[in-house]
Chains A and B, each alone.
Chain A
Amino acid sequence: MERALVVVEATAATKDLLREAGELATGVGAELILVHVTTEDEYADRADALAKIPDVDVSYDVTRARDGAGQFARDVGNEVLQGLDVDFRAIGRLGDKVDEVLAVADEFNCDHLFVTGRQRSPTGKAIFGDRAQRLILNFNGPVTVTTVTEETPA
């Protein structure tokens, strides 16, 4: 493992995943790429919400959305990886969560993918999200999947 890609989501499980990736990367001297993807829908919702606030002159555009996604990944990285001797780069993208992650993996020649994916249904069954499954099947290399089951987002 030389350069591993970690998919950063806004979930508690992401922190466990990142810690595990960080410890592994430290052990073998690998670099981490942290990617967070904002979807077009999330972007539109946020732009709408900001436009409705009077007297706030915020121009929220594609560049800012991408920067915001990158900043989110950087913040999570700084929080979780502090104290570990590991280099990481944070990347923000706007678009499809699977396509963008795979594109980043290609661009940075990542040789390992770290991803969370399990959610919990109302009866407590573990369900594998469509996105996590597409990532697992389409990434060309080993994939580490943490199995802390997240609550289904309401």
Chain B
Amino acid sequence: MRVLVGIEGSEESSTVLRNAIERALEADDELTVAIFAKHERDQDIDHIEATVRDELTAAGIDAAIHRIEGDPASSLVAMAEREGFDQLVIGGGRDTPLGKRYLGSISEYVLLNADVTVRLER
């Protein structure tokens, strides 16, 4: 199965990536990682790419890394559809201090708009 994983530079994302790697090894998936930076949090895309590359190398996985330009949510959906991926993997939400779980707007957009199967990883 060809799997596209959307990763931003957050703590939630590193869990998403680790779980996606674990599952890819288990199911023999072909993994592609799409990375994007959240400008409002002043994230550095080079740093995110290096972190993702380290994780992949440590797991012994050969996966392509794509940098997403523009709006992350619609770009992810467009890329998954254009390149014929079987599944799109994104973060399945964070918990508020009160323990209430919520999905980020990127995950919500993907769930409403993607034409491919979506896996919420957490």
Contact = CB atoms under 8 A, between A and B. Distances in A.
Contacts, number: 53
Nearest to A23: B1
Interface stretch (A63-71, A78-86, A135-143): A135-143
A28 B114 contact: no
A39 interface: no
B119 A144 contact: yes
A126 B122 contact: no
Secondary structure dominating the interface of B: mixed
Contacts of A9: none
Interface residues of A, number: 20
Contact of A145 (B23, B28, B111, B122): B111
- Chain B residues touching A, range: 20 to 34
Secondary structure dominating the interface of A: mixed
A128 B111 contact: yes
A142 B117 contact: no
Interface of A: 1, 20, 24, 27-28, 117-118, 126, 128, 136-138, 140-147
Given A118-B111, A142-B120, 5 more contacts: A136-B92, A137-B93, A142-B92, A143-B120, A147-B111
Interface of B: 19, 23, 26-28, 87, 92-93, 101-103, 111-122
